Amino acid sequence: MTGCDSAAPAPTGDALYADAKQTYMDYREFVNGVQSVLSTGPWEIGQLGVYGMQPDQCDNGAGYRFDLNRSLNLDPSTRESNADAVEEHLKDAGLSPSRRVLGVGDESLIQVAVRDQGGFSQLLIEFDGQGRVRVAADTSCRPGDAHELSDMLFGDEVFLAGYLPTDVESPTDPLFFGITPGDPQFVRETPAP
């Protein structure tokens, strides 16, 4: 994945869709691997634009990027070992993560982050003192129009107005790109009466 500062014209149409699909699959597979280090069970999905597939504008509108936000609760006593495991996973993948602790004691926040590497502008994993773990990922800016790409992915659906496939997702769930309204991955389960 590269940035948007190329002199070549930005892709459009099928070329934009193909680039976006590859970018999306690459970053989601990697983030799912990071999540799986901690838990393959359900993770809460961030709301609105942080679902993971909605393209955001970047580079003053000349490019797009994807971002996501996932969280779950783990035993707070495991946060140091979990941070170690994530850091080791990132190093094994050839990245250079940084680690810092904000605050002191049980109220501290451990952050493991990768910036401007591996197709990410930022990949951040946070562990708070109450056991909350958050994974936030922003891909590097890619050349292409975010609005054109959004139209190709979602058509007339108002994705950011509550049209999310589910509230939780496991990192082992099958990946897909784009939507067909009514497909099972975009139908919320309703409890039987």
pLDDT tens, the chain, 193 aa long: 444 555 678 999 999 999 999 999 999 999 999 999 999 999 998 765 577 888 999 999 899 999 999 999 999 999 999 999 999 999 999 999 999 999 998 889 999 999 999 999 999 999 999 999 999 999 999 999 999 998 888 777 665 555 555 688 899 988 888 876 555 444 444 444 4
Quickly list H helices, 42-177.
79-92, 146-154
pLDDT at site 188: 45
Confirm whether 90 is domain-assigned: yes
Per-residue pLDDT, 177? 86
Tell me whether residue 133 is in a domain.
Answer: yes
Establish if 122 belongs to a structural domain: yes
Q: Is residue 8 part of a domain?
A: no
List the CATH number of the domain containing 121: 3.30.2030
190 part of a folded domain: no
The 10 Å CB-count burial string (b at 16+, else e) for 36-69 is: ebbeeeebebbeebbbbbbbbebbeebbbbbbbb
Q: Are strands 168-169 and 43-45 parallel, antiparallel or unpaired?
A: antiparallel
Cβ contacts of residue 14 below 8 Å, gap of 6+? Answer: none
| Count of structural domains within the chain | 1
Report the alpha-carbon distance of residue 79 to residue 156 in Å, rounded: 42
Read off the tokens for 8.
């070549």
pLDDT of residue 157: 66
The whole-model pTM stands at 0.86
User: Which two structure tokens, joined as six digits, stand for 85?
Assistant: 């495991």
Residue 109 lies in a domain: yes
Q: Residue 1: what pLDDT?
A: 41
- Name the residue range of residue 92's domain: 13-157
Residue 5 lies in a domain: no
- CB distance 58 to 151 below 8 Å: no
pLDDT computed for residue 176 by the predictor = 84
pLDDT attached to residue 159: 55
pLDDT score of 184: 45
Residue 150 lies in a domain: yes
